[in-house]
């Protein structure tokens, strides 16, 4: 059995879920920055756009790619859910993936919601749309989310680095770290 200090020094397994429909969109740039800030952890990227569309939308839990995506969520100590915001709502890709997860899929995991969009008016999507969706899948340890304007994504910000540090710190404090993996 691992001691508490062993758990806290263990490398966390982090899943970054991208709800962007494009591999070169601002969300992808943002997630590359986040991944760079998480050096020292085992980081996996799940681009929902790469999942088979019919299996994703029909909820085919037997599809190997869908099964793998769910397994990645299950194995993660921490999950970062990132989405572009359109009309004050997260992407349908994020919704489609989270709909496939059991209601307790995010229980015991540290979760960080990230969003990007064209105007500050989209900022509310994190707290009023994305956060409740994460809670519906059992997320209770949710680090305060972060919103980045599309125009600002190309330059890494100290604010983003601070958010990622808080997320990593919350992972170290998570009593389930390294035992759920």
Summarised one tens digit per residue, pLDDT across range 73-103 is: 999 999 999 999 988 889 999 999 999 999 9
Residue bearing the bigger pLDDT, 19 or 6: 19
Q: Distances in Å between the alpha carbon of 157 and those of 15, 41, 176?
A: 21, 21, 30
Residue 123 banded pLDDT, cuts 50, 70, 90:
confident
Tell me how far apart the alpha carbons of residues 50 and 146 are, in angstroms, rounded to a whole number.
24
Q: Distances in Å between the alpha carbon of 12 and those of 9, 110, 170, 176, 179?
A: 9, 10, 11, 10, 10
* pLDDT for res 152: 94
Tokens of 115: 């969003």
Each domain of the chain, given as residue ranges in start order, spans 4-173
Return the minimum-mean-pLDDT range out of 53-62, 73-82, 122-131, 139-148: 122-131
Tell me how far apart the alpha carbons of residues 95 and 86 are, in angstroms, rounded to a whole number.
13
Answer whether 137's CB lies under 8 Å from 98's CB: yes
CATH fourth-level superfamily of 4-173: Flavodoxin domain (3.40.50.360)
Residue bearing the bigger pLDDT, 7 or 30: 30
Residue bearing the bigger pLDDT, 44 or 8: 44
* pLDDT for res 16: 98
């Amino acid at each position: 059995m691992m001691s508490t200090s062993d758990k806290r020094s263990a490398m966390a397994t982090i899943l970054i879920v991208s709800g962007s429909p494009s591999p070169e969109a601002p969300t992808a740039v943002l997630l590359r920055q986040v991944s760079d800030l998480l050096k020292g952890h085992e980081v996996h990227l799940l681009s929902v756009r790469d999942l088979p569309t019919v299996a994703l939308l029909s909820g085919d839990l037997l599809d190997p790619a869908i099964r793998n995506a769910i397994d990645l969520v299950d194995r993660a100590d921490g999950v970062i859910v990132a989405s572009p915001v359109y009309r004050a709502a997260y992407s349908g890709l994020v919704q489609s993936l989270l709909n496939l997860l059991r209601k307790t899929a995010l229980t015991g995991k540290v979760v960080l919601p990230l969003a990007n969009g064209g105007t500050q008016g989209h900022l509310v999507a994190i707290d009023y749309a994305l956060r409740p969706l994460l809670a519906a899948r059992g997320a209770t340890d949710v680090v305060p989310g972060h919103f980045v304007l599309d125009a600002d994504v190309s330059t890494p910000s100290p604010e983003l680095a601070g958010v990622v540090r808080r997320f990593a710190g919350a992972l170290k404090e998570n009593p389930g770290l390294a035992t759920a993996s």
